[in-house]
Amino acid sequence: MHDDHERALKALAARGRLRTLTPRRGIDFSSNDYLGLGASPDLADAIAAALARGVPVGAGGSRLLRGNDPEHEALEEDAALFFGAETALYMGGGFAANTAIFATLPQRGDLIVYDDLIHASAHDGMRMSKAGSASAAHNDVAAFAERIAAWRANGGTGRVWIAIESLYSMEGDTAPLADFDALARETDAMLIVDEAHATGVLGPHGRGLASALEGQPHVVSLHTCGKALGVMGALVLGPKTLRDFLVNRARPFIYATAPSPLMAAGVRAALRLSADAPERRDMLMERIALFGRALHAGCGIAPTGTHIQPILLKSDARAVAIARALQERGFDVRAVRPPTVPDGTARLRVSLTLNASAADTTSLVEAIAEAIERHPV
């Protein structure tokens, strides 16, 4: 009955691309819990206090039915103020929220020009969208401008939506946001900025790399709550008209059970921690600098300067073998293979978090150098 599925799985295994679920073990160099908030006493206390004042665990329905809890609305007010946007909309997760943005906001006759390396959720949203779409080379503002100009020259009359990430999840590099903003203004385009991996870590008070652009009528941003903020869900920030449009038209919002009100209370607490406690960000920046120096000295690899560091190994099998060697030494480092990354760019994705100590960080670099030497190209 399932022969086709079995053959497909065997083919993935033969290519070194079969995915399996594995338990957490070893020192954390793979999660997105960059500030170590996920299991922090500060968030645990906030959740306990919310339970004590009667915040429910479950919403019980869509927000358009009975699922709209005061905690959701309080979070949205806090988030709009914190990030400097006109409005915020809280959804159950970053994938659903990003899909909703791309599937709902661009209209028939519009064009979405997106970065080659944008998140998979954006691609899913674009497949559901009535708008056209075109890719542009990674972080190449001129390539985006050429795509827009060619579309206009061919008779395109709708609105352009420029779609980028502020910090790329597999490359660890950042977008030239000021240049993209200038392009959006020059072409009367909307700018969608996915801040998923910058939220909580980068920008003033952890507001993200595009914090200076928030509140502008041509800007929509996504801030996830399950990475550096340590909780779950996602916030879409932008003009009120676009928020209202999502509430009325975004299927991932309309037909989904609302996020847990308890988690909304947790996100509110995480935003307060981000605003009031810069010590965690400062410590992470020190850890990033330490890792970068050690990586360059020990492996000859140029550091990204951010909390995401790819170690390009090209071969799927080599990436898996080196990741396994690191895991056997107690480091939770994972191999990332196509189709998550382009063919021929299999890699380790090292994620720097406060769940690992400074000593752990330097030990990891030593282990990476030894594993690369034992598994040559």
pLDDT tens digits, one per residue of 145-185: 999 999 999 999 999 999 999 999 999 999 999 999 999 99
Residues 198-217: tens digit of each pLDDT = 999 999 999 999 999 999 99
Catalytic residue, chosen from 30, 32, 98, 121, is 32
Mention the CATH class of domain 22-40+278-374.
alpha beta
Catalytic annotation present for 123? no
The residue type found at 206 is: G
Kindly report the pTM of this predicted structure.
Answer: 0.95
Domain parsing of the chain, residue ranges = 22-40+278-374, 55-276
pLDDT at 23 (0 to 100)? 83
CB 144 within 8 A of CB 123: no
Catalytic residue, chosen from 28, 72, 119, 355, is 119
Residue with more model confidence, 22 or 233: 233
Catalytic residue, chosen from 115, 227, 307, 351, is 227
**Residue 116, number of CB atoms within 10 A of its CB:** 12
Catalytic residue, chosen from 28, 71, 165, 214, is 165
Catalytic annotation present for 62? no
Catalytic annotation present for 138? no
Catalytic annotation present for 32? yes
Catalytic residue, chosen from 194, 195, 316, 332, is 194
- Model confidence at 44: pLDDT above 90: yes
Q: What is the mean pLDDT of residues 306-324?
A: 94
- Model confidence at 277: pLDDT above 90: no
Torsion, Cα 313 315 321 322, to 10 degrees, reads 0
Position 357 confidence tier, pLDDT thresholds 50, 70, 90? very high
Catalytic annotation present for 314? no
CB 224 within 8 A of CB 236: no
Q: Topology of 55-276 in CATH?
A: Aspartate Aminotransferase; domain 2 (3.40.640)
Catalytic annotation present for 194? yes
Q: What is the mean pLDDT of residues 85-111?
A: 98
Tokens of 6: 């079995």
Report the 3 state secondary structure along 310-370.
Answer: EEEEECHHHHHHHHHHHHHCCEECEEECCCCCCCCCEEEEEECCCCCCHHHHHHHHHHHHH
Catalytic residue, chosen from 69, 181, 197, 355, is 197
Position 276 confidence tier, pLDDT thresholds 50, 70, 90? confident
Catalytic residue, chosen from 121, 133, 135, 169, is 169
- Model confidence at 1: pLDDT above 90: no
pLDDT at 275 (0 to 100)? 87
Catalytic annotation present for 98? no
